[in-house]
């Protein structure tokens, strides 16, 4: 008898999805600091290998505690391969952009991801995104620009790499959403971590710098933090529509400001504070619209969600 994958029923829960997203953003912000610190010394392929290989520890623990290895059966192996390939490509590009650009510029350009994601979620996922959420995402992006004010002197290659990374990330998030219709979150993360470890290991012969013990510890920490953040991210996209939770990526700007002050003595300017407020308000507005739409659907069983959400 052929064993079948454990059935997985996805339940939309926008509020919990947003909480998972916020946790993921916090951990990814720590990871960004580690990668920026290491990228000047080590090839991005090497940093990526450690980030993926040691992420297997938290991911393996999560799988063991939440259903065991039997949950790893899948009917969509090529879906996992595609998600892993595009996800690793985006990871390498964003790590590379950290080496080519000032961190603020790289992050600013990376925040075109929600715009790509909102646009792609319509044709690829069939999600309905109305004028209110389109407007909120646009306003949030204006807030990002006010906070970071990308310099006009950024390298042309660096800008292209950062924008390409944002596009890759949006495609990876679309793939997560598609897989999460039938696959448990831990299954998606497990296959991503294993496959990206193998893919990045294959690139090590083309670039390797032997780390000292201190840097080795930071490289291992990249993997542990990255694995945990990936678990939260995948869970978030299994609980809510992409266009609903993607704007909460903007909270990483608040963490960036805090970490900049703690580690480099950088203080946010008044314009940064104004931009942060705009970003936060746009995210809260999206949450309010999603909550109102869901309440309307539950209250009226036959109601059709409004196209202006």
Task: Quick: pLDDT tens for 206-230.
Answer: 889 999 999 999 999 999 999 898 7
259: Cβ–Cβ under 8 A, 6 or more apart, which residues? Answer: 29, 30, 33
Using alpha carbons, select from 273, 236, 271 the residue that is nearest to residue 254. 273
Rg (CA), the chain: 19
**pTM, full prediction:** 0.75
Query: So what's the pLDDT on residue 38?
Result: 92
Query: So what's the pLDDT on residue 47?
Result: 95
Query: So what's the pLDDT on residue 297?
Result: 52
List phi, psi (to 5°) of 102.
-55, 145
Which segments in the chain show pLDDT lower than 70? 1-11, 103-105, 108, 114-115, 125, 144, 147-156, 242-243, 260, 264, 266-269, 271-273, 275-276, 279-280, 283-284, 286-309
Beta-carbon count within 10 A of 154 CB: 19
Query: So what's the pLDDT on residue 1?
Result: 39
Query: So what's the pLDDT on residue 279?
Result: 66
């Amino acid at each position: 008898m052929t064993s079948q994958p454990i059935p997985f029923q996805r339940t939309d829960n926008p509020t919990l999805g947003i909480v998972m997203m916020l946790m993921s953003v916090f951990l990814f912000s720590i990871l960004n600091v580690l990668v920026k610190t290491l990228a000047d010394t080590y090839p991005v392929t090497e940093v990526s290998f450690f980030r993926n290989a040691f992420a297997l520890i938290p991911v393996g623990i999560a799988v063991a505690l939440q259903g065991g290895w039997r949950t790893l059966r899948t009917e969509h192996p090529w879906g996992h391969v595609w998600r892993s390939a595009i996800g690793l490509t985006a990871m390498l590009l964003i790590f590379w952009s950290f080496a080519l650009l000032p961190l603020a510029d790289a992050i600013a350009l990376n925040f075109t991801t929600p715009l790509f994601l909102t646009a792609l979620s319509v044709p690829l996922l069939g999600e309905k995104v109305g004028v209110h959420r389109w407007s909120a995402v646009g306003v949030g992006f204006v807030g990002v620009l006010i906070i970071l004010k990308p310099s006009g002197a950024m390298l042309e290659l660096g800008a292209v790499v950062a924008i390409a990374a944002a596009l890759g990330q949006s495609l990876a998030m679309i793939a997560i959403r598609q897989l999460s219709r039938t696959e448990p979150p831990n299954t998606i993360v497990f296959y991503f971590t294993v496959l990206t470890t193998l893919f990045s290991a294959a690139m090590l012969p083309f670039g390797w710098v032997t780390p000292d013990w201190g840097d080795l510890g930071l490289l291992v920490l990249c993997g542990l933090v990255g694995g945990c953040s990936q678990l939260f991210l995948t869970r978030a996209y299994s609980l809510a529509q992409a266009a609903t939770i993607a704007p909460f990526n903007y909270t990483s700007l608040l963490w960036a400001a805090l970490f900049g002050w703690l580690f480099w003595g950088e203080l946010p300017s008044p314009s940064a504070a104004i931009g942060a407020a705009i970003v936060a308000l746009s995210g809260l507005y999206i949450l309010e619209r999603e909550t109102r739409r869901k309440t309307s659907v539950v209250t009226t069983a036959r109601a059709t969600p409004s196209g202006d959400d």
